[in-house]
């Protein structure tokens, strides 16, 4: 690419100039006899000049991303080298923790208690007497967010030493997947925690993909949240937000810094895709969740002529971007690249199977967490030929685990991280209890399913935030787990407790009975929510409302037997089948909804909640009458005989 070639020429020029300067300085140092400090200074400067020239020559041999200039390429290189050479002690600590997780957990608990000892919360609940995990379990009950809400509200007003001993720099908003959004106080300790994750990430990438891609950029699909502040001026936003203080790291991304300020989810994704596709030498594509990756790829399918035209002539097609940001984006397009545009057009016209590897031949991986089980489909379509993995098991409440197996093409697995959060586990059969007994990290059984309980330096103790995991095996002495579901999304109209994995499997099996039909999305509600919506007499026999969006309207929709959903639920769940046979649960009311309904649900939730585009996950369990009404209004066929 022309841009990369120009950078190489400049690097060679720097190399020649610095080596010439180095030779002059070293010669000067050898001729200075009386003033030793001058000789030492000149010698050091000469050596540094020679090193700079050596690095510059080495950098010309690397694959350089399009859009780099001389300053940005050195900044990118220095940032990557800093992360590489500072990773060793952190990686060593993580490995030690995996070998002795109980000790790591006890040590981190002491760190939490010491940091928050002089807080109102610690005094209110007698945490000064806690010195071990056993003490914590005896002294402090399992909690939900409501226990912390009044304390966080005080912190939002600027009070100090309430939940945490450090100054609150940000209130992180959860996505609200299982209810109202929560606020978690973040301070400087967050960077210590994330440094462990970054160190492991660099270690894994170097081991899996080598060190020859330091000057290749990444594309991350990011939408800026609307910035909000509390009355005390504390920033509020999702944990995934990129605050202004992190601007220095944006040099590693293909998009210019201004692109990370775009708040419209359609324009933002288009812009990141545009700048990413401009760069043939891209290293990786990053996205929070696989459903968002699918949406982005469908955008490419639909709008590739716009992408090709913008790439060719250097324009940026947006609708809701401010004039100032738009002008900066156009400047960053640098007049366009007809050669790259022609290359993209040729690949797009061939179709979209394996498109990522075709438009980015030097890409090493794609990163996205897969909460909905679509990874296999992506590997057979858009992502064919590339590794696809979720990097880490992360919640707003803390970092739980990291994926060490980047080339694993099955369901992502994560080894827990004992040195950055304190974890307890509730066996699945006891999840419905208010204060069940918990197990510690080294007490879990392979094959066991558990709800996670977290204690974290942010001032939350024994907090039930909702993730349910399954233990697959042990790495050293620490469990390796896979994500199962959110406990708040369990369906339960008559004590049957259907998890989302079972529901999805049953729905997919039901679709297997229908020809030429593919499931796009689904969601389920409990009939009690409908009773609340219509404000009528409650149905004496509860049931589910199932909403299915198909990839296309079937030729003869009346031939589809919607009763198959009920049959498959009975096949997939013993408890559901038992209650159906007893008549305690009525057959589900199944709706086929209009194409695009789940896109409208996405827009509705973003417009009417604190959830951001980066946090959004399709709500498999509908929890509000407003979302239920939207789905009912979109129905085009149902088996309603009630």
Model pLDDT for residues 96-106, shown as the tens digit of each residue: 999 999 999 99
Given a contact cutoff of 8 angstroms between Cβ atoms, the answer to whether 166 and 115 are in contact is yes
Q: Which of 488, 523, 548 is the last residue of a domain?
A: 488
Q: How many domains are there within the chain?
A: 4
Q: How much is the pLDDT for 583?
A: 85
Q: Is the pLDDT of residue 4 over 50?
A: yes
Q: How much is the pLDDT for 75?
A: 84
- Mark whether 266 and 310 lie in a shared domain: yes
Residue 632 backbone phi and psi in degrees, to 5: -65, -40
Continuous H helices in 140-188: 149-156
User: Looking at the domain assignment, is residue 207 inside a domain?
Assistant: no
Q: Which of 490-499, 525-534, 600-609, 627-636 has the highest mean pLDDT?
A: 627-636
From the list 388, 391, 417, the residue with the least C-alpha distance to 240 is 391
Q: Which of 171-185, 446-460, 597-611 has the highest mean pLDDT?
A: 446-460
Q: Is the pLDDT of residue 28 over 70?
A: no
User: Looking at the domain assignment, is residue 619 inside a domain?
Assistant: yes
- Mark whether 477 and 515 lie in a shared domain: no
Q: Is the pLDDT of residue 305 over 80?
A: yes
Q: Is the pLDDT of residue 1 over 90?
A: no
From the list 94, 143, 133, 134, the residue with the least C-alpha distance to 112 is 133
Q: Is the pLDDT of residue 14 over 80?
A: no
Q: How much is the pLDDT for 37?
A: 60
- Mark whether 260 and 358 lie in a shared domain: yes
pLDDT band at 195 (very low <50, low <70, confident <90, very high): confident
The CA distance from 204 to 198, in Å, is 10
Report strand pairing: 388-389 vs 365-369: parallel
Structure tokens at 630: 């939207």
- Mark whether 382 and 245 lie in a shared domain: yes
DSSP string, 315-379: ----SSS-HHHHHHHHHHHTT--HHHHHHHHHHHHT-STTHHHHH-TT--EEEEE-SSS-HHHHH
Q: How much is the pLDDT for 22?
A: 61
From the list 475, 486, 484, the residue with the least C-alpha distance to 416 is 475
- Mark whether 57 and 113 lie in a shared domain: no
User: Looking at the domain assignment, is residue 78 inside a domain?
Assistant: no
Q: Which residues of 248-280 are buried (b: 16+ CB within 10 A; e: fewer)?
A: eebbbbbbbebbbbbbbbbbbbbbbbbbbbbbb
Report strand pairing: 365-369 vs 589-593: unpaired
State pLDDT tens for residues 70-85.
788 878 888 888 887 8
- Mark whether 355 and 243 lie in a shared domain: yes
Query: What SS3 state is found at 230?
Result: coil
Q: How much is the pLDDT for 422?
A: 97
Q: How much is the pLDDT for 16?
A: 58
Q: Which of 461, 488, 515 is the last residue of a domain?
A: 488
Q: Which of 333, 365, 389 is the last residue of a domain?
A: 389
User: Looking at the domain assignment, is residue 561 inside a domain?
Assistant: yes
Q: Which residues of 289-317 are buried (b: 16+ CB within 10 A; e: fewer)?
A: bbbbbbbbbebbeebbebbbebbbebbbb
- Mark whether 415 and 512 lie in a shared domain: no
Question: What mean pLDDT is predicted for residues 312-339?
Answer: 95
- Mark whether 425 and 286 lie in a shared domain: no
Question: What mean pLDDT is predicted for residues 534-548?
Answer: 77
- Mark whether 566 and 586 lie in a shared domain: yes
Q: Mean pLDDT check: name the lowest of 196-205, 550-559, 603-612.
A: 550-559
User: Looking at the domain assignment, is residue 264 inside a domain?
Assistant: yes
Considering only residues 530 and 248, tell me which one the structure prediction assigns the higher pLDDT.
530
**Cβ-proximal residues to 98 (8 Å cutoff; 6+ apart), any chain:** 415, 418, 475, 476, 477, 478
Q: Is the pLDDT of residue 474 over 60?
A: yes
User: Looking at the domain assignment, is residue 205 inside a domain?
Assistant: no
The CA distance from 380 to 360, in Å, is 17
- Mark whether 267 and 279 lie in a shared domain: yes
The CA distance from 562 to 554, in Å, is 13
User: Looking at the domain assignment, is residue 69 inside a domain?
Assistant: no
Across the chain, what does the average pLDDT equal? Answer: 87
Residue 140 backbone phi and psi in degrees, to 5: -120, 130
Q: How much is the pLDDT for 20?
A: 62
- Mark whether 186 and 265 lie in a shared domain: no
- Mark whether 466 and 531 lie in a shared domain: no
Helix (H) or strand (E) holding 310: helix 290-313
Q: Which residues of 555-581 are buried (b: 16+ CB within 10 A; e: fewer)?
A: eeeeebebebbbbbbbebbeebbebbe
User: Looking at the domain assignment, is residue 334 inside a domain?
Assistant: yes
Residue 46: domain span? 2-61
Q: How much is the pLDDT for 30?
A: 64
Strand partners, 489: none
Q: Mean pLDDT check: name the lowest of 302-316, 588-602, 628-642.
A: 628-642
Q: Mean pLDDT check: name the lowest of 47-51, 326-330, 331-335, 388-392.
A: 47-51
């Amino acid at each position: 690419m022309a841009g990369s070639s120009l950078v190489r020429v400049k690097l060679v020029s720097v190399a020649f100039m610095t080596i010439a300067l180095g030779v002059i300085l070293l010669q000067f140092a050898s001729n200075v006899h009386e003033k030793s400090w001058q000789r030492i200074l000149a010698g050091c400067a000469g050596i540094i000049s020679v090193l700079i020239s050596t690095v510059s020559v080495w950098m010309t041999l690397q694959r350089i991303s399009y859009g780099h200039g001389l300053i940005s390429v050195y900044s990118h290189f220095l940032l990557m080298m800093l992360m590489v050479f500072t990773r060793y002690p952190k990686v060593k600590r993580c490995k030690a923790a995996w070998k002795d997780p109980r000790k790591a957990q006890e040590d981190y608990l002491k760190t939490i208690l010491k940091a928050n000892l002089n807080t109102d919360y610690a005094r209110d609940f007698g945490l000064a007497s806690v010195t071990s995990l056993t003490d914590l379990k005896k002294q402090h009950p399992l909690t939900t967010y409501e226990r912390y809400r009044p304390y966080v509200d005080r912190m939002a007003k600027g009070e100090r030493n309430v939940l945490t001993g450090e100054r609150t720099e940000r209130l992180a908003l959860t996505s609200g997947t299982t209810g109202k959004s929560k606020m978690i106080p973040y301070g400087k300790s967050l960077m210590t925690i994330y440094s462990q994750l970054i160190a492991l990430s660099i270690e894994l990438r170097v081991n899996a993909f080598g060190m020859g891609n330091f000057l290749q950029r990444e594309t991350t699909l990011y939408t800026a949240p609307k910035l909000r502040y509390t009355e005390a001026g504390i920033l509020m936003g999702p944990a995934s937000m990129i605050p202004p203080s992190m601007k220095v790291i944006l040099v590693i991304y293909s998009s210019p810094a201004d692109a990370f300020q775009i708040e419209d989810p359609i324009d933002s994704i288009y812009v990141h895709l545009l700048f990413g596709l401009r760069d043939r030498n891209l290293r990786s594509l990053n996205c929070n969740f696989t459903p968002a990756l699918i949406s982005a790829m469908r955008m490419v399918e639909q709008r590739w002529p716009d992408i090709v035209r913008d790439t060719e002539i250097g324009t940026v097609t947006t609708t809701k971007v401010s004039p100032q940001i738009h002008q900066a984006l156009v400047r960053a397009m640098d007049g366009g690249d007809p050669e790259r545009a022609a290359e993209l057009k040729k690949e797009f016209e061939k179709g979209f199977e394996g498109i990522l590897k075709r438009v980015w031949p030097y890409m090493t991986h794609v990163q996205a967490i897969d909460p909905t089980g679509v990874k296999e489909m992506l590997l057979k379509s858009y992502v064919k030929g590339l590794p696809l993995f979720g990097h880490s098991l992360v919640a707003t409440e803390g970092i739980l685990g990291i994926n060490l197996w980047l080339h694993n093409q099955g369901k992502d697995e994560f080894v827990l991280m004992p040195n950055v959060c304190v974890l307890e586990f509730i066996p699945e059969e006891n999840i419905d209890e208010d204060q069940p007994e918990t197990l510690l990290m080294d007490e879990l059984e392979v094959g066991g399913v558990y709800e996670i309980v977290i204690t974290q330096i942010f001032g939350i103790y024994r907090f039930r935030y909702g993730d349910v995991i399954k233990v697959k095996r042990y790495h050293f002495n620490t469990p390796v787990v896979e994500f199962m579901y959110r406990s708040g999304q369990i369906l339960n109209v008559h004590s049957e407790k259907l998890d989302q994995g079972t529901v999805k499997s049953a729905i997919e099996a039901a679709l297997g009975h229908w020809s030429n039909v593919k499931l796009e999305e689904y969601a389920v509600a409990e009939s009690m929510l409908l009773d609340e919506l219509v404000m009528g007499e409650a149905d004496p026999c509860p049931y589910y409302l199932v909403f299915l969006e198909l990839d296309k309207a079937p030729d003869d929709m009346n031939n589809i037997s919607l009763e198959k959903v009920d049959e498959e639920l009975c096949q997939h769940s013993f408890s559901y089948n038992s209650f159906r046979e007893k008549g305690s649960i009525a057959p589900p009311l199944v709706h086929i909804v209009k194409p695009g309904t789940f896109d409208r649900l996405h827009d509705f939730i973003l417009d009417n909640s604190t959830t951001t585009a980066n946090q959004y996950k399709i709500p498999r369990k509908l929890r509000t009458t407003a979302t239920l009404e939207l789905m009912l209004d979109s129905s085009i066929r149902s088996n309603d005989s009630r």
